[in-house]
Amino acid sequence: MQAGGVWRSCIAPIWPERMYTEIMSERQKVLVTGGAGFIGSNFILHWIANVGTAVVNLDLLTYAGNAGNLSRVQSDARYSLVRGDICDAELVAGILREHCPQAIIHFAAESHVDRSIAAPGAFIQTNVVGTFTLLEQARIYWSGLDEDGKRAFRFVHVSTDEVYGSLGLEDAAFSESTAYAPNSPYAASKAASDHLARAYFHTYKMPVVTTNCSNNYGPYQFPEKLIPLVILNALEGKPLPVYGDGQNVRDWLFVDDHCSAIRTVLEKGKPGETYNIGGNSERKNLDVVTSICDIVDELRPSPSSPPRRKLITFVTDRPGHDRRYAIDASRISRELGWVPAERFESGLRKTVAWYLENESWVESVRTGAYMDWIRKNYQERVTQ
């Protein structure tokens, strides 16, 4: 991305013109929110490795955020972490003034559907009020840039396919023109945030681009979500909880592919547009769980125990459980040239291997609060 205007606006009063070009080439900073969570931390690692310019990470480090996800870059001068809340307007304004980012990539959210059913309030606060706060502070910052800076600036709002609701088995996949029909408090809060992002482009012409992505999997995913939860339970010989009949379908995308898609949208996406991102990998939950069992059996054999498939336990369904998600990602492919690189089978194997090799990470995120959530969520479900 070219960042001339943004930087000129921010540094002109401080730096003489001679140094301006050098500084600009060294530091075209981006602000990432939620960068110590699953996708955000993968994105920062991907950004430092592939783009190499500076990143400021604003993250509250809730139960889902773990600064250790970024231990590989924590002493890299290009990376800095601000622990704070996206709902704190003064803090956000200060970060924008200090760092003059040329883009904001907004991941921070409450992200787990089951938690949104148990306690929706935090989802409204972070996903709706937080996104509004960020958009509004971004607008104030963006309005103060010169014309080049305004044109170069991007606000990438990272959202989900869940805003589109649920598909029947024969329905066409979600496209960018599918009507919104969110079904869980999480999905509704993300839908609200998408509408705010849209309004900031439409009303103020701030260059906002929104992405709606399908289910991610890969390293550093918090083990409340299906794939890491099943990997860890399978390893430990615990029951593998499958909601309902296990026939719900999700469209899986390896997290590094999501990161490259967001980068592509940041570089080439058209302001005011939305892009669906998906992996062309629809799988039934039960098939995902049995595949994990087979990979764990192979990579960590336990000859004295029955095959891990025997641990599969059908439990009470999630209320309002969406039956099927599927993404039509033809637009981002046709217009921006992005396609996923990873196949589901190879990505799943890499993911299982990562959890086997990273026991200390697993231990560090399984705190008392995590164990309380697991007890609450699964004790309330009856075995079917």
| Partner that binds at residue 229, options ligand NAD, ligand DAU, none, CB closer than 5 to 8 Å by kind | ligand DAU
The answer to whether residues 285 and 351 touch, using CB atoms and an 8 Å cutoff, is: no
Compute the distance between CA of residue 338 and CA of residue 314 in angstroms, rounded to an integer. Answer: 37
Closer CB to ligand DAU, 162 or 257, in the complex = 162
| Cβ 332 to ligand NAD shortest distance, Å | 14
Compute the distance between CA of residue 84 and CA of residue 68 in angstroms, rounded to an integer. Answer: 16
| Partner that binds at residue 85, options ligand NAD, ligand DAU, none, CB closer than 5 to 8 Å by kind | ligand NAD
Token pair, residue 34, equals 């939620």
Closer CB to ligand DAU, 2 or 247, in the complex = 247
User: Is 317 tagged catalytic?
Assistant: no
61-69, 135-143, 229-237, 309-317 -> range binding ligand NAD (CB under 6 A): 61-69
- Give the phi and the psi of residue 341 in degrees, each rounded to 5: -95, -25
**Amino acid at residue number 64:** A
In DSSP terms, which residues pair with 215 in a beta bridge? none
Binding site for ligand DAU (CB under 6 A): 111-113, 160-162, 214-215, 225-226, 229, 241-243, 248, 250, 285, 318, 325
User: Of the candidates 7, 155, 200, 222, which one interacts with ligand NAD according to CB under 6 A?
Assistant: 222
| Partner that binds at residue 261, options ligand NAD, ligand DAU, none, CB closer than 5 to 8 Å by kind | none
User: Is 161 tagged catalytic?
Assistant: yes
User: DSSP readout, 226-275?
Assistant: HHHHHHHHHHTT--EEEETTS--EEE-EEHHHHHHHHHHHHHHPPTT-EE
82-90, 141-149, 232-240, 278-286 -> range binding ligand NAD (CB under 6 A): 82-90
Closer CB to ligand DAU, 127 or 137, in the complex = 127
Q: Is 351 in the site for ligand NAD (CB under 6 A)?
A: no
| Cβ 215 to ligand DAU shortest distance, Å | 4
| Cβ 141 to ligand NAD shortest distance, Å | 17
Compute the distance between CA of residue 355 and CA of residue 351 in angstroms, rounded to an integer. Answer: 6
Which H/E stretch holds residue 302? Answer: none
Let me know if 212 is exposed, middle or buried by CB neighbors in 10 A (0-12, 13-18, 19+). Answer: buried
Q: Is 108 in the site for ligand NAD (CB under 6 A)?
A: yes
| Partner that binds at residue 61, options ligand DAU, ligand NAD, none, CB closer than 5 to 8 Å by kind | ligand NAD
| Partner that binds at residue 131, options ligand NAD, ligand DAU, none, CB closer than 5 to 8 Å by kind | none
Compute the distance between CA of residue 30 and CA of residue 54 in angstroms, rounded to an integer. Answer: 7
User: Is 136 tagged catalytic?
Assistant: no
Let me know if 255 is exposed, middle or buried by CB neighbors in 10 A (0-12, 13-18, 19+). Answer: buried
Residues in contact with 119: Cβ distance below 8 Å, sequence separation at least 6, in sequence order = none
Q: Of 14, 26, 42, nearest to 347 (Cα)?
A: 42
| Partner that binds at residue 60, options ligand NAD, ligand DAU, none, CB closer than 5 to 8 Å by kind | ligand NAD
Return the active site residues. 161-162, 186
Residues that bind ligand NAD (CB under 6 A): 33-34, 36-40, 59-62, 64-65, 85-87, 107-111, 126, 130, 158, 160, 190, 213, 215-216, 222
